[in-house]
Amino acid sequence: QLQLQESGPGLVKPSETLSLTCTVSGASISSSSYYWGWIRQPPGKGLEWIGSIYYSGSAYYNPSLNSRVTISVDTSKNQFSLWLSSVTAADTAVYYCARQVAVAGTGLWAFDIWGQGTMVTVSS
Amino acid sequence: QSALTQPASVSGSPGQSITISCTGTSSDVGSYNLVSWYQQHPGKAPKLMIYEVTKRPSGVSNRFSGSKSGNTASLTISGLQAEDEADYYCSSYAGSTTVVFGGGTKLTVL
């Protein structure tokens, strides 16, 4: 059974870089049928797509965050990671990693499997 | 890239049907049949309920259905049950390998 698990610091200081890792278990991250994405949700607010990556390393980002975001993939560890630089209090949120379908007819661009989420607070 | 527009809240009584709208633009919802809907209970991760406008993942009740007309997609839940009370989010492919979410709708089962 496929599972995704986020990990990383729960507290980050303003102006520093937020770093999270998503570990995929139960399936290979190197599948050609999926992207792997990050989505966040500020407390009491809606979902925001941050970006997604293919196993080949091709990454796609939300234009509003593009200048601060980097997503990478490590197929040997079955993990992908998020870096968000120059964080402020507005980046305080629950961060989810999720599998994103890359094949038409089976849920193209939908996030079909989600991690449980991890809360990251930006505060000094 | 602006968030898709959803009503902040909807409500209905058990057994009734409700519809949640999701309005985008000709650059996202209107251009692609790639709208998804997610259900999120408090403190839980979202769950995919509808993909590619009308399709249901395995295991999702057929009480949930999706549709689209122009720049507006809709999620209909028939035969409302108490367990349907949750937040619902739409999302759409928005071109140039980007995705946009709606602001979310809180469904209350009266």
Q: What is the pLDDT of residues A72-98, one digit of tens each?
A: 999 999 999 999 999 999 999 999 999
* Nearest residue to B8 via CA among A46, A92, A96, A41: A46
Q: How many CB atoms lie within 10 A of CB A16?
A: 14
* pLDDT tens, residue by residue, B12-22: 999 999 999 99
- Between CA A60 and CA A39 the distance in angstroms is 13
Mean pLDDT for all residues in chain B: 96
Q: Residue B73 carries which DSSP code?
A: E
B100 to chain A: which residues are within 8 Å by CB? 49
B8, pLDDT greater than 90: yes
For chain B positions 40-59, those within 8 Å of chain A (CB to CB) are 45-48, 51-52, 55, 57
What sign does the dihedral A54-A59-A60-A65 (CA atoms) show? positive
A107, pLDDT greater than 90: no
pLDDT value of residue B2: 87
Indicate yes or no: CB of A46 within 8 angstroms of CB of B47.
no
Whether chain A has a CB inside 8 Å of the CB on B66: the answer is: no
A37-63 per-residue burial string, b: 16 or more CB within 10 A, e: under 16: bbbbbeeeebbbbbbbbbbeeebbbbe
- Between CA A100 and CA B108 the distance in angstroms is 29
Average pLDDT over residues B72-79: 98
- Between CA B18 and CA B15 the distance in angstroms is 10
Average pLDDT over residues A11-40: 97
